[in-house]
């Protein structure tokens, strides 16, 4: 039997093989239609005599099964809990058939196997995995506000132990084939080209010794674990989850509680409990928000950055970098780590030496070693060439400047680089605030120039802003986007404008924090409101991390561009004059002169703030939250009005990846849609008198009147 997504083959007369290979998709996913096809095949095999085994494989290189079809999930508006439970039970009962066949079932896994795909292979008797970096298995459902619903929480603890299962399911991270083998999830590791051969050998061995039948019985029963062990795991697991999620993500806790409670049940009862608990998470605002973030990321991976499908990016085979400071060395590390040779230069010999050292250490960092891997460092060192001769970058395909944030210095350098390089070399700037059109004025070929703005620290920040000037060509943009993706980043394309996207949305938030301080609101109240909303840190701590001096200069750019909406704060000026620049100087809004460099309250700051209090306002936590985040929303609607982004989704991806806007809110515009026009307008009404920064924008008015969303997650 063959079908659109599955085919049934027989590598031997006594062995069946189900091959997942949906020709309509780049990855195999478990839609309801695919489940129907699987059911039909299992029905056919149930009537076949003489089978010793079944092998499940994938026909797609690098992909086994990428999970359930999330578009079906997203399409379920306000789902009925009973319907959700039925959906879970259908999947559980279908997959459970793999553990009840009169022959042994083996999953032969090569590539990514996650979500529903991981659940399916757990219902097989045995698993063989291709030994290589592309093969991994995991349960990422908690990152979507859910947990496994097709038997994963019931089956996995019985196979690899409750502690291992809790770590995999509640953490949501995939593990390698080697890790799966060590914990007993995989029974064999083989080269990819021997996968089917190994599966057939395993079937023969199991058919002869029938050890799999003993495991079938064992995995049906309750777990062999004491109440004391359960209580300890529940307490420690819950404490760790709360520490990691700050209570904003309910799915990991729900998964933990479900597995703890199901430990004393048989697998059938455990599956029913899983379905019941799953239904309480499915379709919630957090679930829908996190699914939206998944779609934002998925769309970005497929977006070439230009609308013309005929435009093809050029391959960047080498990168030249001017400036070996924090940004230059970070970009160099990201490039050589992904196989792009780098030539880096700096006018200061010591800065160049330190930059090369930092780049190599960062690129060769090994998490298990908690430091650089000597072997990896030796492999990468030849990819990084340091020089103080500008001519050395002449042969690079792309040259990027990451020097001081001074328009005159950057423009002069870019003009010099253009003279050195050939007509096919692309030029880029890593500026965070200076208009691209201004820097392009010094160039003879501005069509080959754009902004490629990485964020600090480069190793951790996934966002890259690709900024096109008025004369930047589509080929340049497409090449910059493809290059950023090659480095593992998520690029969004913007039209030129002060602050681009991230800083333009971020500065209203940070500036409003200073306005609140001038109204007598304490640092602690502001920080708690921000982190309570879900931000990774409050705006005051962010000032210290970014640097008071950096914020001062960037704020001047924003004030010159949008003066009516940006009120200069004397607090920032005062700190700047004192050279209290934040973490870099050991003192800012907080002190950092303790041995661990942790932020500590500074009594002198309290005295400084009191001198700048212009009025005393008693504001609730909710009012402070509105003051901080509504200016961001309003500025985002102005960005839409100015058509700086190609799609509203780019705003939400930008604020999540570039600012740390809480993913469980789905993005800035998605949050507004979730709140709804009536609430948003009611939040803004008492704030309009505070000035132009709270003025209702035309885009917001049209949104409120239309009743439509800023975008639809199924578009």
Catalytic positions: 453
Pairwise CA distance, residues 134 & 132, whole Å: 6
Those residues whose C-beta lies under 8 Å from the C-beta of residue 170, and which sit 6 or more positions away, are: 142, 237, 241, 252, 255, 256
Half-sphere exposure of residue 276, counting CA atoms within 13 Å on the CB side?
11
Q: How far is residue 672's CA from residue 251's CA, in Å, rounded to a whole number?
A: 23
The Cα 701–Cα 353 span in angstroms is 54
Quote helix, strand, coil % in the chain, to nearest 5: 55, 15, 35
Please name the residues in contact with 402: beta carbons below 8 A apart, sequence gap of 6 or more.
321, 322, 323, 325, 327, 328, 331, 430
> Under 8 Å CB-to-CB from 708, ≥6 apart: which residues?
none
Expressed in angstroms, the distance from the first to the final Cα of the chain is 34
How far, in Å, CA of 331 to CA of 712, rounded?
A: 34
Alpha-carbon separation of residue 254 from 228, 250, 405 (angstroms): 20, 6, 48
What does the alpha-carbon distance between residue 393 and residue 404 come to, in Å, rounded to a whole number? 19
Q: Write out the two tokens for 507.
A: 């500065």
Q: Give how far Cα 572 sits from Cα of 480, 513, 528, 602, Å.
A: 35, 11, 21, 16
Is the separation of the CB atoms in 358 and 314 below 8 Å? no
Q: How far apart are CA 452 and CA 512, in angstroms?
A: 28
- Quote the CA–CA distance of 52 and 50 in Å, as a whole number: 7
DSSP codes joined into one string, 15-47: EEEEEE--TTSSS--B-HHHHHHHHHHHHHHHT
For residue 38, what are its two tokens? 């699987």
Q: What is the phi/psi pair of residue 174, to 5°?
A: -80, 160
């Amino acid at each position: 039997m063959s079908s659109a997504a599955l085919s049934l083959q027989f590598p031997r007369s006594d062995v069946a093989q189900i091959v997942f290979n949906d020709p309509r998709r780049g990855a195999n996913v478990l839609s309801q239609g695919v489940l129907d096809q699987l059911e039909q095949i299992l029905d056919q095999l149930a009537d076949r005599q003489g089978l010793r085994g079944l092998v499940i494989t994938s026909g797609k290189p690098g992909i086994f099964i990428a999970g359930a079809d999330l578009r079906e999930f997203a399409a379920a508006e306000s789902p009925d809990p009973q319907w959700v439970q039925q959906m879970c039970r259908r999947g559980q009962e279908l997959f459970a058939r793999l553990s009840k066949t009169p022959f042994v079932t083996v999953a032969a896994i090569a590539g990514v196997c996650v979500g529903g795909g991981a659940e399916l292979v757990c219902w097989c008797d045995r698993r063989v995995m291709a030994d290589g970096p592309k093969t991994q298995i995991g349960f990422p459902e908690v990152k979507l506000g859910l947990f496994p619903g097709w038997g994963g929480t019931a089956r996995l603890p019985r196979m690899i132990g409750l502690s291992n299962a809790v770590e995999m399911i509640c953490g949501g991270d995939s593990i390698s084939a080697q890790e799966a083998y060590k914990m007993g999830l995989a029974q064999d590791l083989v080269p990819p080209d021997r996968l089917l051969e190994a599966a057939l050998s395993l079937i023969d061995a199991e058919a002869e010794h029938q050890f799999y039948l003993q495991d079938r019985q064992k995995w049906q029963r309750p777990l062999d674990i004491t109440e004391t062990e359960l209580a300890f795991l529940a307490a420690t697991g819950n404490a760790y989850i709360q520490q990691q999620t700050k209570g904003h993500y309910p799915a990991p806790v729900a998964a933990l509680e479900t597995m703890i409670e199901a430990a004393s049940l048989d697998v059938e009862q455990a599956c029913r409990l899983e379905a019941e608990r799953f239904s309480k998470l499915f379709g919630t605002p957090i679930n829908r928000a996190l699914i939206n973030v998944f779609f934002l990321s998925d769309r970005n991976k497929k977006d070439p950055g230009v609308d013309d499908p005929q435009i093809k990016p050029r391959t960047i085979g080498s990168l030249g970098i001017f400036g070996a400071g924090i940004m230059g060395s970070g970009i160099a590390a990201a490039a050589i780590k992904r196989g792009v040779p780098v030539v880096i230069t700096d006018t200061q010999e010591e800065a160049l030496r330190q930059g090369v050292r930092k780049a190599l250490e960062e690129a060769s960092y090994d998490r298990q070693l908690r430091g650089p891997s000597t072997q990896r460092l030796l492999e990468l060192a030849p990819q990084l060439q340091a020089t103080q001769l500008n001519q050395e970058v002449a042969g690079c395909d792309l040259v990027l400047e990451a020097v001081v944030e001074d328009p005159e210095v950057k423009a002069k350098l870019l003009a010099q680089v253009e003279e050195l390089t050939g007509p096919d070399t692309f030029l880029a700037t890593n500026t965070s605030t200076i208009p691209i059109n201004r820097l392009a004025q010094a160039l003879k070929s501005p069509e080959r120039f754009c902004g490629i703005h990485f964020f600090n620290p480069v190793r951790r920040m996934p966002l890259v802003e690709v900024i096109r000037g008025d004369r930047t060509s589509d080929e340049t943009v497409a090449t910059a986007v493809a290059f950023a993706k090659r480095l593992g980043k998520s690029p969004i394309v913007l039209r030129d404008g002060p602050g681009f996207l991230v800083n333009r949305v971020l500065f209203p938030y940070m500036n409003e924090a200073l306005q609140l301080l001038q109204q007598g609101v304490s640092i602690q109240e502001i920080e708690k409101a921000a982190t309570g909303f879900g931000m990774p840190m409050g705006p005051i701590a962010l000032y210290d991390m970014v640097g008071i001096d950096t914020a001062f200069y960037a704020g001047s750019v924003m004030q010159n561009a949008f003066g009516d909406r940006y009120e200069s704060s004397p607090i920032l000026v005062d700190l700047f004059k004192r050279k209290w620049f934040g973490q870099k100087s050991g003192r800012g809004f907080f002190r950092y002169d303790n041995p661990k460099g942790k932020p500590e309250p500074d009594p002198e700051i309290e005295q400084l703030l009191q001198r700048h209090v212009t009025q005393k306002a008693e504001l609730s936590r909710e009012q402070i939250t509105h003051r901080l985040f509504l200016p961001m929303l309003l500025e985002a609607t102005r960005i839409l009005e100015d058509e700086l982004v190609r799609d509203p989704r780019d705003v939400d991806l930008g604020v999540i990846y570039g600012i740390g806007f809480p993913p469980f809110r789905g993005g800035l515009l998605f949050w507004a849609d979730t709140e709804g026009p009536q609430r948003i307008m009611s939040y803004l009404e008492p704030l309009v008198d505070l000035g132009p920064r709270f003025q209702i924008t035309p885009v917001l008015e049209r949104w409120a009147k239309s009743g439509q969303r800023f975008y639809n997650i199924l578009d």
